[in-house]
Amino acid sequence: MDPDARRGRVLLEESREAVVVLDELDRVIGASRRARQSIDELREGEQIPDGLLSGAAGAIPLIVAYELGGRRERLVYLSRSGDLTAYEELRAGFTAVVSHELRTPLARLLSLLELATLPGENIAELVDRARSEVEQIRELIDEVLFLSELESGTRVVALGAVPVLPELEAVAEELGERAGRAGVDLAVVGDAEVELEIRPRMLRVIALNLAENAIRYAGPGASFTLAVEREQSAIVLRGTDDGVGVDETDLSRLFERFFRADRARASRGTGLGLAIVKHIVTQAGGTVEARGGRGAGLEINCVFPAP
C-alpha cells in the first residue's frame, strides 16, 4: 500500500465519527472504528445494511460523492440525533470566538472616535487609524463568510485543471509592496507545466494566505518562497520561510480557526487564513502539513492528487 493510501486508511480508522466508504454499488470499501462498533452487520465487501442511507435505521446520513482513479465512491457520515448537542456546542463556541475577535477592533475604533472629540487632537491621523480598524473588521467578516461558504458547499473548489505557476506569480506580484514594507523577500519557483484540478480563484486564495502568513509573522529580513512541484503521484504546493518560526508544539494547531502562536497574538491578522487553506485543500482531495520550529522558519505543504 502506498503512503497516501496508508495515510487515508489511518485517517478513516481513527475518525471520531461513524464514517463509511461505499463503492458505486453501495458495497462497503472501508469504515471507521466507531462505525464498526456502533453499526451491526457492517462488513467490508458487503452491502451497507438496509435503512442506513435512507435514515430509517435511526442514523442521519450525510453523503459526499467523489471520484478516485475513475471510480465513483461515496463517503457516508452517520450521526444520531443526540450528536446535534455536540454540534450546537461547537457552533456556540465558534460564535463566541468571532464575537471576541470583533470586540477588540470595535473597542479600539470607539476609543479613536472619542479621542477625535477632544480639542487639539490630530483628526487626520485618528481617521487613518479608524479606517485601519474598520478594514480589519471587514477582513474578519469577509473571511468568516468565505469559510462558511466553503463548509456549506456554496463555493465550488474544483472545476478543471489550471496551470499553477502563473497564479503563484500573480499573488507574489500583488503582495510585493506589502512584503517590501515588512522586510520579507518573496520568490516563486516551480515547473510551469504543473496543473491542478482547482478553480484559479481557490488556488490564489491558498497562495495569498500562505504568503500573507509569512509577511505578517516571519519577521524582517526573512525570505518566503512559493513552490510547486510534482512528487510521484502528487502535486505539492509549498510555502516556506526562514523566519522566526513557531514552537513545534504549535504546528498541529496552526490550521485551527483563530489560533495564533505567541508572536502572532499581537498581529492584526484574523487567525482564519490557514484554516481557509486547509479547508480548500481538503475539499480538493488533498492534505496539509506544517513543519518547522522556533527559529527554524515555517514550511507548509499542500499535497494534492495529480490530475
Residues 125 and 214 in one domain: no
Estimate to the nearest angstrom the gap between the alpha carbon of 56 and the chain centroid: 34
Residues 242 and 270 in one domain: yes
Residues 215 and 191 in one domain: yes
Q: pLDDT tens across 252-304, in order?
A: 788 876 666 554 444 555 567 788 888 888 877 889 999 988 888 999 999 98
Residues 224 and 267 in one domain: yes
Residues 75 and 87 in one domain: no
Residues 57 and 109 in one domain: no
**What is the value of pTM for the model shown?**
0.55
And the C-alpha cell for 77? Answer: 457520515
Q: pLDDT tens across 164-189, in order?
A: 999 999 999 989 998 999 999 999 99
DSSP 27: B
> Which of residues 48, 79, 110 is at a domain's end?
79
Distance (Å) of CA 285 to CA 87, 177, 186, 235, 260: 24, 33, 28, 11, 26
Instruction: Give the number of domains in the chain.
Output: 3
Residues 219 and 273 in one domain: yes
**CATH number, domain at 232?**
3.30.565.10
